[in-house]
Amino acid sequence: MSLKLRTKRFLFNSGIWYKLSLMRMVPSIFNWLKSGCTANAPHPVKMMVIESYLDRFSVTNFVETGTYLGETLGYIAGKSGVECISIELSSELHHRARQKFSKHRNVTLLEGDSGKRLPEVLERITTPTVFWLDGHYSSGITAQADDDTPISAELDAILRHPIGNHIILIDDARCFDGTNNYPYLDDLIEVIRANGRYTTEVSTDIIRLVPCLT
C-alpha cells in the first residue's frame, strides 16, 4: 500500500480526515454566509448542526438514514463515545461503506429501505437518540425505492416510539413541497404538533424536532 494511501487511511480511522476536510470547505461556507444563508447550507455546516445537537443534549446514539458516501457518518463516528447506525438502500453504497468503516467498532451499517428497517432499529433503542433522516433518491448513484423518500414512514415510526425525547433532524427542508412523495412542510408540522412531544424549527435547510420539555 502506498504511503499516500496509508496516510489517508490513518487520518480517516483517527477521525482527523473530516476535520481537515472542513478546512477545505471554508470558502464555500464563507460564500454561503455572504449570501445571507439563503442557499442550501454547505454539507459541513449540516454536519456541525448534527454535532451540536449531540453535544447540547449529551446524546451518544446516532441513527442515520441514507449512508451514501459516509461523509456525515464518518464525521459523527469520529466523536468519541458515539454509537452510530446507518441504513442505505443501495447495495453498492452499503458495501463501499462496509469497507470504509471496517475499523470503526462504533458503526453499524444496515442495508435496505430505511422506511422498512427503521422500526427494527427502534426496537433496540433504549436511550434518546439523534436521528438524521436523509435517506432519499437524489439522482446520480443514489438508489430509488418505490417512493423517492421514506420520510413519512420513518417519522411515523419514531413518533410512535416509547421514548419521546429523541432529537429528529430531517434534511432537505426545501424539498417538502408536496411533490415526489414529499409531504408539504405545513402538513408535516401538523403531524408533529398532533404528536405533542416535539417542537419544530426549520433552519439551514434542516427540519429540527426537539423534545418539548427541555
Ligand X SMILES: C[S@@+](CC[C@H](N)C(=O)[O-])C[C@H]1O[C@@H](n2cnc3c(N)ncnc32)[C@H](O)[C@@H]1O
Residues contributing to the site for ligand X (CB under 6 A): 64-66, 68, 71-72, 87-90, 93, 113-115, 134-138, 142-143, 145, 150
The answer to whether the beta carbons of residues 53 and 201 sit under 8 Å apart is no
Backbone dihedral angles phi then psi of residue 33, each to the nearest 5 degrees: -60, -40
Residue 123 host element (H or E): helix 114-123
Q: Which is nearer to ligand X, 68 or 101 (CB)?
A: 68
For residues 120 and 4, give the distance between their C-alpha atoms in angstroms, rounded to a whole number.
40
Pairing of strands 167-170, 206-211: antiparallel
Q: Is the separation of the CB atoms in 212 and 198 below 8 Å?
A: yes
User: Which of residues 92 and 177 has its CB atom nearest to ligand X in the complex?
Assistant: 92
**How distant, in Å, are the alpha carbons of 28, 96, 161, 189 from that of 43?**
10, 20, 29, 24
The least distance separating ligand X from the CB of residue 3, rounded to whole angstroms, comes to 28
Min dist. Cβ of residue 28 to ligand X (A): 15
CB of 81 to ligand X, least distance (A): 20
**Cβ-based nearer residue to ligand X, 114 or 129:** 114
Local structure of residue 136 (DSSP, 8 states): -
* Residue 101, C-alpha cell as written in the block: 468503516
Whole-number minimum distance, CB 131 to ligand X, in Å? 11
**What is the closest distance, in whole angstroms, from the C-beta atom of residue 203 to ligand X in the complex?**
17
Q: What CA–CA distance (Å, rounded) separates 168 from 170?
A: 6
Residue with smaller CB distance to ligand X, 28 or 199: 28
Nearer to ligand X, 63 or 185 (CB): 63
